[in-house]
């Protein structure tokens, strides 16, 4: 997870700070412009960055990542770049939340979970 401040010029996008996956594909929370309170979501949301500009900013909002949790059918896996992915067994098949699995239908995270 990283923090990115929007720096898109114009009035259409406020310059909030967003807590995003390293790829900026998913949003996990945000800090409204002019405040320092991090509002975290219960679920991740798809995040559109097309036509928008961001700069990475330090985590000054008190966010710390929870430890990785494993259950019988769900694993949180740390990726090689520090991203965290979820591998789940759904209808007997392993699926991963990483973009590689979404694109190719296989990834090293699923292979490691087998």
pLDDT-derived band at 71, boundaries 50, 70, 90: low
pTM: 0.58
Instruction: Write down the mean pLDDT value for the chain.
Output: 84
pLDDT at 70: 60
Instruction: Give start and end residues of each alpha helix (H) in 1-114.
Output: 99-104, 108-113
Residue range 51-62, pLDDT digits in tens: 889 999 999 998
pLDDT band, residue 17 (cuts 50/70/90) = very high
pLDDT at 75: 83
Q: Is 100 exposed, middle or buried (0-12, 13-18, 19+ CB in 10 A)?
A: middle
Sorted by where each begins, the domain ranges of the chain are: 2-57, 74-113
């Amino acid at each position: 997870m990283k923090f990115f401040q929007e720096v898109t010029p114009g009035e259409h996008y406020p310059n909030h700070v967003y807590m995003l996956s390293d790829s900026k594909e998913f949003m996990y929370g945000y800090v409204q412009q002019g405040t320092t309170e991090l509002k975290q979501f219960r679920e991740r949301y798809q995040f559109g960055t097309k036509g928008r500009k961001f700069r990475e900013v330090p985590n000054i909002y008190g966010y710390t990542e929870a430890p990785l949790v494993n259950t019988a059918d769900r694993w949180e896996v740390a990726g090689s770049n520090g991203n965290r992915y979820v591998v789940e067994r759904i209808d007997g098949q392993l699926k991963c939340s990483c973009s590689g699995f979404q694109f190719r239908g296989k990834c090293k995270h699923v292979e490691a979970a087998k």
